[in-house]
Amino acid sequence: MTELKNGTMVVVADSEKALFAINLTDGDDPNLDIVRVDEEDNPPDREQTENRRGRVQESAAPGGHAYDETDFHELQKERFASDLADKLYKMAHKGRFDSLVLVASPQVLGVLRDEMHKEVADRVIGEIPKTLTNHPLSEIEKVVKRDLAEAA
User: Higher pLDDT residue, 39 or 52?
Assistant: 39
Q: Are 23 and 5 in contact, with CB atoms under 8 Å apart? A: yes
Under 8 Å CB-to-CB from 66, ≥6 apart: which residues?
A: 53, 54, 55, 56
Cα gap 147→140, rounded to integer Å = 10
Query: Is 80 part of a structural domain of the chain?
Result: yes
Q: Of 75 and 87, which is predicted with more confidence?
A: 87
Which CATH number covers residue 139?
Answer: 3.30.420.60
Q: Answer yes or no: is 35 within a domain.
A: yes
Q: Is it the case that residue 143 has pLDDT exceeding 50?
A: yes
pLDDT at position 27, please? Answer: 85
pLDDT of 35 above 90: yes
Please check whether residue 136 lies inside any domain of the structure.
yes
Q: Tell me which residue range forms the domain holding 144.
A: 9-39+72-151
pLDDT tens-digit profile of 2-31? 788 999 999 999 988 999 999 999 888 999
Residue 57 belongs to some domain of the structure: no
Residue 4 maps to a domain: no
Q: Is residue 28 in some structural domain?
A: yes
C-beta atoms surrounding 131 within 10 Å: 17
Contacts of 105 (CB under 8 A, 6+ apart): 14, 15, 129, 130, 131
Q: Assess if residue 112 is contained within a domain.
A: yes
CA distance 1 to 68: 47
- Residue 48 banded pLDDT, cuts 50, 70, 90: very low
Q: What is the residue type of 60? A: A
CA distance 151 to 148: 5
Q: What is the pLDDT of residue 3?
A: 80
Contacts of 43 (CB under 8 A, 6+ apart): 73
Count of structural domains within the chain: 1
